[in-house]
């Protein structure tokens, strides 16, 4: 039994190091992603390593140079797309986007032509979210996306 326990400690330590290299817990700090996420939620986040591209609908952790902190938002616009946000919803290249996760529409409106290697991100709780619509630099560079929640 003692030998098995002695083997268990290094195996657990190696497992913890491997998990930590690829995953971390993100604590939600605002209501911007409600009802999907609430303040104080802790969500597993997988580091982005360039092997799996970011897709529309992904919830991502972003290093925001403008805000000086990490933020959690949903990817809405992909490189090369035109995103239009209005009080009634979102269109991508003129096609209405189905968004069953949105708590309420509202907040700033805008039209965005997403450049290469960048994304438009929005919170699910649009009236309460500081996101691409209100940032001085509305496009999130691919290099600023640190992780994807829950995948």
47 Cβ contact partners less than 8 Å away, ≥ 6 residues apart: 21, 22, 23, 24, 146, 147
- Structural domain boundaries in the chain: 25-149
Q: Catalytic pick from 30, 32, 130, 132?
A: 32
Q: How confident is the model at residue 8 (pLDDT cuts 50, 70, 90)?
A: confident
The whole model's pTM is what?
A: 0.86
Triad 112, 99, 90: Cα angle to 5° = 25
- Catalytic site includes residue 129: no
Domain 25-149 has CATH 3.30.365.10: no
Q: Catalytic pick from 30, 52, 64, 73?
A: 73
Cα dist from 82 to 48, 93, 104, 117, 144, whole Å: 24, 5, 22, 14, 20
151: exposed, middle or buried (Cβ count in 10 Å: 0-12, 13-18, 19+): exposed
Q: What is the mean pLDDT of residues 45-65?
A: 88
Summarised one tens digit per residue, pLDDT across range 79-129 is 999 999 999 999 999 999 999 999 888 989 999 999 999 999 999 999 999
Summarised one tens digit per residue, pLDDT across range 115-134 is 999 999 999 999 999 999 99
- Catalytic site includes residue 52: no
């Amino acid at each position: 039994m003692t030998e098995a326990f002695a083997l268990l400690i290094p195996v657990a330590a190696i497992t913890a190091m491997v998990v930590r290299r690829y995953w971390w817990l993100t604590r939600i700090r605002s209501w911007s992603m409600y009802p999907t996420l609430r303040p104080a939620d802790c969500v597993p986040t997988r580091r982005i390593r360039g092997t799996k591209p970011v897709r529309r609908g992904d919830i991502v952790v972003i290093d925001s140079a403008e805000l000086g902190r990490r933020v959690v938002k949903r990817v809405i616009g992909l490189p090369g797309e035109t995103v239009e946000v209005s009080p009634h919803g979102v269109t991508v290249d003129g096609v209405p986007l189905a968004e069953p996760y949105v708590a309420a529409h509202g907040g700033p409106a805008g039209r965005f032509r997403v450049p290469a290697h960048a994304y438009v991100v929005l919170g699910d709780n649009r009236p309460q979210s500081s996101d691409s619509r209100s940032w001085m630099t509305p496009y999130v560079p691919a290099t600023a996306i640190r992780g994807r929640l829950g995948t």
